[in-house]
Structure 1
Amino acid sequence: MTRIAVVLPAYNEEETLAATIAGFHSALPSASIWVVNNRSTDRTEAIAAETIRKLKCSGE
């Protein structure tokens, strides 16, 4: 079985991150999506965690 991981680097992406994650999840529904937060000073980390949890697309 092939497994796919999408790794998204992010820095202050609160405006677009949820839509980006959702787009990858729509195109690759069985992929694990990982966001690498590069010390953002906005809500990037919280939005990533919330979106991944809601879509159930984490690598865990």
Structure 2
Amino acid sequence: MTDTSETPDGPGDPGSVRDEEAFHIPDDLAQGLTEFAAVEQLSRGEAICLILREYLRAKGYLKGAPAA
């Protein structure tokens, strides 16, 4: 499953997604993401950002206080 629904379009290129911005999300992860977003009442994009932020912070790649 390729998720391009929340990927911004390139400048001057409305309606299309550049290859470097598109990525494949395996079906099991996409289902888990959808369920997580629904339970947490977040958009898929917000859910992805939250998951990445917490993971990167836990691994030491992101500094600073957690977002509220």
TM-score normalized by the length of structure 1: 0.30
More helix by share: 2
Larger Rg: 2
Greater relative CO, 1 or 2 (CA 8 Å, sep 6+): 1
TM-score normalized by the length of structure 2: 0.27
